[in-house]
Structure 1
Amino acid sequence: MPWVDEKRLDDEAALQALDTRDSLRSLASAGAQVRRALVSAEDAGIERVSGGERPRSVLVAALGGSSLVCDVLDLLAEPGSPVPVLTRRDAPLPGWVGPLDLVIAVSQSGRAAGPLALAAEAARRGASLLTVGSADSPLAEVSARARGVHVDVAIATPSSRTALWSMLTPVLLAADAMGLAHVPRSTLERVADVLDAVAEECRPSSESFVNPAKVLALALAETVPVVLGDGPLAGVAACRAASMLARTARVPATHGALPDAASQLVATLDGPFGGGAPGAVATPGGDIFADPFLDGPAAPRLGLLALRDPELDPQAAALADAVIASARDAGAVVHEQEARSGEPIERLASLVGLTDFAATYLAIGLGLDPSVSRHVTELRDRTG
């Protein structure tokens, strides 16, 4: 089983030594990313998106560390958007996209093949374009040729995973301007405050027994993690958390959202990690009489990270309570995290901010650099 060195998490020098590209510092800049992105978007003329008119439809293209942009816009626009909002990770561009539609392409580097190809094809068909990425990049050039709006990523970070708010903020500002979702500048400024507060609580100098991100990292260590959102909003945060655990901490994690994932999660409690297999007895504290030399190493237990939305309706909240109770009874390690109050994007930011930090601390606690993966580098070399 993996082993997290708790002392390493409380040693600022050790944290800095392993975090070679300053991922923790970049995550702490999330609030600043929002504020700088608001200025960049306004300087770019975000109000000119789609000619200042509401498009027939909106298609958002993003992948990898930027993919949460698609999920968030879909979440916020779904309840009241007057036009369809769709997402796409890669080519081809749907055949119906034309001059009446808007394509939003997001890539921190401005070179991601999927969003770049979709933006280029959208420009060829005469669709309106909003692009978010690096200045002087191929994506920016496509947007300029198509007379679209390009917003530069305002704050440089080592990866798209740590640049989320630089890329998401202009898209949300555009959605508000077009009446697709209610995310005004004032709300985004409060989001920046929420992210600042999370960064302060999760700062490296905060000791592991009071730092909520370090507490969460230690809770998920030596488990098979499952991240569960108790509804649509927390479900988006759960998807991001599972992605960060896999890509940053190198810990395979699954995720789901209620109500769909209820039976799927509860069924795993019968399996080898849930402590509910036939003849098994749930032992939340472990078997104190087990001998690791005679009995072999203990199997990792299921680790349930339940992300909670305080604005969830009572019936949905009751289902989440029942699932969590079942997990505890089965002997799974359970950690609940409730979002802060506020508008939907504020609540989402509080969950995403915390789990981003937790995944990064988990990587460092395992002795890994959160930004550098040998196997990812090898994969890029093999695929050109």
Structure 2
Amino acid sequence: MLDDSLLDDPAALARADRDHALLALAGAGARVRTALRLTGPALTALRPEGRPRAVLVAGHGTALTAGQALGALSGGATLVHPLAAADALPSDPFSSGLSWQLPGWAGPLDLVVVLSTTGVEEGLIRLAEQAYARGCALAVLAPEGRPLAEAAQQVRALPLPYVPAAVEEPDRPDPQVDLPAEDPGAFWAYLAPLLALADRVGLLRLAEDELAGLADLLDELAVGFRPDAAAYRNPAKGLAAQLADTVPLLWGEGEPAAVAAERFAAMLADRAGCPAVTGRLPQALSSHRGMFTGRLGGGADPDDFFRDRVDEPEQLTLQVLLLRHTPAEPGADPAEPAPAGHPVRRARRLAADHDVRLTEFAGTRPEPLAALAELVALTDFAAVYLGLATGVES
């Protein structure tokens, strides 16, 4: 049950936020600046120079989402997905079953990037060794002094800096019995070095001040989503309240928006214990259509009208959150509706026909990176606010 009063009580939010998730999100801009400052000198040692044939990004959780974001922004990143394995690592039991395998064609023309916030995954260490044996260019982002960082030195990998959150580390649960929540600001600590590296090798072309502008934009967005901003003026708090007692369908139109939807689903699960289903337009219109007529749909309560519902829990309902990248074109009318047959127009009609609420959130800046930042910042704060207001422990 959502506690509406908590969202408008900054002191209560601070007490509930025991692992400082809101502070970690507010510090995203600072982490980007620090990461860029530390990454610049490291990139001068990259060998070989020039654009690789392919970039393969390996990691799990937020690291993998950052790799997906790089792929969406550049169109050239290939992801190495984690595969189940039987090995065990007592120091990190929840990632011990992960193993990574390079595709058979990977070789000296390719760049492998390995990402980890813990730096203890044996699967990633073996992947780094495998990439070295294949002659791949290799970059590793991991905390200093951890096994993965030490292995990176042995295989002559380019070390990329992992910038931790500048907040006091909370007391973590016993890793043998519970899985700690991920650092909510780690997404930008991963993505900033990845973007700098991609720009260095020619995978994407960023404007001279675009990465510095990203840090400034994240600061600006954090001010708007801050805990002492009243709920009626804070879009992140409003979105959190809207999500209570619902199962959201997160639809993305365009690559940056689709990545933001995947990120939002992960944050809702991790920070608020809330399940969500993601999809991309127009494919989601057919793959998710059955949910509109199922038990969660707007008009899907065919049971006896006279049934006593007094003691029944609140029923979950379906709603659609449509994430879009809609840069304003010169001379265009922002109120002009989407043309007939456009996936967005079809999505609106599908939701209206089945009495399902649909809300749109758009990144309006022309640069895809800035639009991604707008959507991710909004949804990250919303997921944390929802978890705090519903009493979900991290």
Question: What's the TM-score, normalizing by structure 2?
Answer: 0.83
**CA separation in 2, counterparts of 1:277 and 1:49?**
58
Paired position in structure 1 for 2:113: 104
Secondary structure at 2:273 match in 1? coil
Please say if residues 40 and 152 of structure 1, whose CA atoms lie closer than 8 Å, have aligned partners that are also in contact.
yes
Asked if the contact 1:176/1:184 (under 8 Å) is kept, the reply is: no
- 1:145 matches 2:162: no
Contact 2:245 2:314 in 1 (8 A): no
Matches within 5 A, 1:322-337: 322-337=346-361
Report if the CA contact (8 A) 2:161-2:193 is conserved: no
Judged with a 3 Å threshold, the aligned counterparts in structure 2 of structure 1 residues 113 and 320 are, in CA distance, closer, same or farther, namely farther
**1:60 equivalenced with 2:57 (yes/no):** yes
Structure-2 change in CA distance of 1:316 and 1:51 (3 Å): farther
Unaligned runs of 5+ in 2: 83-99, 170-181, 330-337
* C-alpha RMSD of the superposition: 2.5
**Alignment identity in percent?**
37
Aligned with 1:272 (options 295, 315, 318): 295
- Indicate whether 1:321 and 2:318 are aligned: no
For the 8 Å contact 1:223–1:300, the answer to whether it is kept is yes
Corresponding residue number in structure 1 for 2:136: 127
Q: Give, in whole Å, the separation in 2 of the partners of 1:39 and 1:315.
A: 45
Give the match for residue 324 of structure 2: 308
Please name the residue that 1:77 is paired with.
Answer: 74
Match for 1:156: what amino acid? A
1:88 aligns with 2:80: yes
Judging changes above 3 Å, is the alpha-carbon distance between structure 1 residues 119 and 255 closer, same or farther for their aligned structure 2 residues? Answer: same
Residue of 25, 28, 44 corresponding to 1:27:
25
**SS of 1:261's equivalent?**
helix
In 2, Cα distance between equivalents of 1:311 and 1:340:
5
TM-superposed CA distance for 1:116, in Å, is 3.1
Gaps of 5+ in 1: 281-286, 373-384
Distance 2:11 2:252 in 1: 35
Q: Which string of whole-angstrom CA distances, capped at 9 and with x for unpartnered residues, describes residues 180-208 of structure 1? A: 11234511112112211210111011111
Partner of 1:225: 248
Residue number in structure 1 paired with 2:387: 363
1:154 and 1:184, CA in 2 relative to 1: closer, same or farther beyond 3 A?
Answer: farther
CA distance in 1, matches of 2:277, 2:70: 22
Q: Is the 8 A contact 2:253 2:322 kept in 1?
A: yes
CA distance 1:42–1:240, change in 2 (3 Å): same
Task: Give the C-alpha shift of residue 148 in structure 1.
Answer: 1.9
C-alpha spacing 1:25/1:89, structure 2 compared with 1 (3 Å): same
Alpha-carbon separation, structure 2, partners of 1:124 and 1:6: 56
Matching residue's letter, 1:10: D
| Distance (whole Å) between structure 1 residues aligned to residue 355 and residue 313 of structure 2 | 17
2:266 maps to 1:243: yes
Q: Structure 1 248/150 Cα, relative in aligned 2: closer, same or farther at 3 Å?
A: same
The match for 1:354 is 378
Larger helix proportion of the pair = 1
- Corresponding residue number in structure 2 for 1:6: 4
Deviates more, 1:304-313 or 1:245-254: 304-313
